[in-house]
Amino acid sequence: MKKIILLLLLPIFIFVGCSNSKQPTGNKENTTTASVPENPKTESTSEGNKDNEKPPIKKEDSNKKEASNKNEDLNNTEKEKIKEEKVKKQTIVIDPGHSNKSSNSKEPISPDSKEMKLKDTSGSVGVKTKTPEYETTVSVGLKLKDKLEALGYNVILTKDSVSDQMSNIERTDIGNNSNADLLIRLHCDAVDTPKAYGASMLVPEIRGYVNSDISKKSSKYGKKIIDTYTEKTGIYNRGLVTRSDLTGFNWSKVPVVLLELGFISNPKEDLFISDPKNHNEIAESIANGIDKCFN
């Protein structure tokens, strides 16, 4: 009986065993397994690459960077060039006229003459302000020096104090010895009548050490300076006046001019010229005129 039962159950056992031994093969999506990294925090992802890695440098970006560097180098070169150009080679000698003491000594008016003139005088006095000419010329001269140096010129003052007494030949020799490109003498005009007005530019004729070249350059520079000065200050322009009787001209071996700032014998011009508040404007206008001579 037991044998009959076993024979009847045997097909069932065989069927169940075969069913459990089969594996699915047609669904790859279900059979693919993902490996889990040991340290997920350090695992790189496509999004992580975008945030943490620099993108490759394109050729056009590299070219732009090189062009930018070249432009920066050019800008620096231009800046250096401008800086070098600002440092000019010209030497300007400024001679503030007169001093607070008059000299009784005399000197030859020219190397080719025996005529004698006083070495130095105290100049004129403002009709309204009572300001001595020497105070105005020194004040304007000091400011003019600063203005010209700011423009890059080499500047020499023949004197920087009203008490410095110098002869006209000594003043002129400073320009000669420094081989100045221009010697500019500063003065104020004055006559017996209060009606005279305006600024004048005195320039040398050919005499003594003044040759044709010096005379021509002096006239050329003088015109530019007087034109600029009068335009900026509003003072009437009396133009150029050639002179052969000035010691400070005839002994000069370099271009030389004498600017009469205006008539301090005229009340209106005295109030403007003698007022220290206006000296910065006066000096700036003269400096601009000088700068036009060499640019």
Q: pLDDT tens digits, residue range 36-82? A: 333 333 333 333 344 444 445 555 556 666 666 666 666 666 656 55
Q: Are strands 199-204 and 256-263 parallel, antiparallel or unpaired?
A: antiparallel
Q: d(Cα 92, Cα 175) in Å, to the nearest integer? A: 8
Stretch 83-90: mean pLDDT, rounded?
65
**Domain assignments of the chain as residue spans, ordered by start:** 89-293
Q: How high is the pLDDT of residue 14? A: 46
pLDDT in tens, 91-130: 999 999 999 998 899 999 999 999 999 999 999 999 999 9
Q: How high is the pLDDT of residue 41? A: 35
Amino acid at 144: L
Output 76 or 18, whichever has higher pLDDT. Answer: 76
Residue 39: how many other CB atoms lie within 10 Å: 6
Output 30 or 253, whichever has higher pLDDT. Answer: 253
User: Nearest 5°: phi and psi at 260?
Assistant: -90, 110
Q: Are strands 154-157 and 199-204 parallel, antiparallel or unpaired?
A: unpaired
Instruction: List all residues 6 or more positions away from 98 whose beta carbon is below 8 Å from its beta carbon.
Output: 120, 121, 122, 123, 132, 133, 134, 137, 187
Binned at pLDDT 50, 70 and 90, residue 220 comes out as: very high
CA-based R_g, the chain, Å: 46
pTM above threshold 0.85:
no
Q: Given 3.20.20.450, 3.40.50.12500, 3.40.630.40, 3.40.50.1950, which CATH number is that of 89-293? A: 3.40.630.40
Q: d(Cα 183, Cα 3) in Å, to the nearest integer? A: 146
Q: d(Cα 139, Cα 286) in Å, to the nearest integer? A: 13
Residue pointed to by tokens 């508040």? 277
pLDDT in tens, 129-151: 999 999 999 999 999 999 999 99
Q: d(Cα 214, Cα 217) in Å, to the nearest integer? A: 5
Q: Are 134 and 125 spatial neighbours (Cβ–Cβ below 8 Å)?
A: no
